[in-house]
A and B are shown apart, each in its own frame.
Chain A
Amino acid sequence: QSVLTQPPSVSGAPGLRVTISCTGSSSNIGAGYDVYWYQLLPGTAPKLLIYGNDYRPSGVPDRFSGSKSGTSGSLDITGLQPEDEADYYCQSYDSSLSATVFGGGTKLTVL
């Protein structure tokens, strides 16, 4: 049972948009801690997509954007491409646990 809750799967057709949610609580996202997002592809190193809720590292396409409101964060992917098919994870910090926490992961299927 992950501290942060993500939908197990989302899907979308090429060119369209999907949103992946990340729901936390008052001891993590709701306490003001940042939300981060990662992309995991089989056999490759996980890739940081979003830091500080809505900042993109250099090299990440602007099709990826993040936001945060209350106890939740979201990752938007616009203009879906086949290579976006991957697992996506959110991360934050939990003050009650004094630990880094992750969501359970969301599998994106590009139809």
Chain B
Amino acid sequence: QLQLQESGPGLVKPSETLSLTCTVSGDSISSSPYYWAWIRLPPGKGLDWIGSISSSGGTYYSPSLKTRVTISVDTSTNHFSLSLSSVTAADTAVYYCARSKYSGSYLDFWGQGTLVTVSS
């Protein structure tokens, strides 16, 4: 059974960089034809797609975040990561990692999410 688990700091200071990791178990990222995505849910707002990456490293980013976002994959440890720079309070959200069949497709497995608060 595929499982995804987000991890990282729950509190980040304004202007700093938010870094999260998603550990995948039950599937090998390196041999998988799937894409691996990050999505967030700000308090009181709707889901917001951040971006996705293929096992070969091809990336797709949200136009509104692409200047601040980097998604990378580490096939040796079977995890992928999110880096979001120059954060503000507007980046406070529950961050989810998920798997998709291809970029733009449905997300069939999700992690439980991790709350990241941006505050000094």
Q: How large is the interface on A (under 10, 10 to 19, 20 to 34, 35 or more residues)?
A: 20 to 34
Q: Once the chains bind, are A51 and B63 in contact (CB under 8 Å)?
A: no
Sorting the interface of chain B by its residue count into under 10, 10 to 19, 20 to 34 or 35 or more gives 20 to 34
A44-B112 contact in complex given A51-B106, A91-B106, A104-B46, C-beta closer than 8 Å? yes
Stretch at the interface among A10-18, A75-83, A95-103: A95-103
Do A89 and B47 have beta carbons less than 8 Å apart? yes
Q: What's the least CB distance linking B23 to chain A, in Å?
A: 14
CB-CB under 8 A for A105 and B46, given A45-B112, A45-B113, A98-B63: yes
Q: Could you tell me the distance between the alpha carbons of A102 and B96 in the complex, rounded to whole angstroms?
A: 14
Number of residue pairs A-B, CB distance < 8 angstroms: 61
Residues of B contacting A101 in the complex (Cβ-Cβ under 8 angstroms): 49
Determine the residue in chain B with the shortest Cβ distance to A93: B104
Task: Decide yes or no whether A61 CB sits under 8 A from chain B.
Answer: no
Q: B104 and A48: CB pair below 8 A?
A: no
Cβ-defined contact, A51 with B47, below 8 A: no
Q: Determine whether B107 belongs to the interface, using a CB cutoff of 8 Å to chain A.
A: yes
Neighbouring B residues of A52 by C-beta, 8 Å: 106
A interface vs B, CB < 8 Å? 2, 33-34, 36, 38, 40, 43-48, 51-52, 57, 89, 91, 93, 97-105
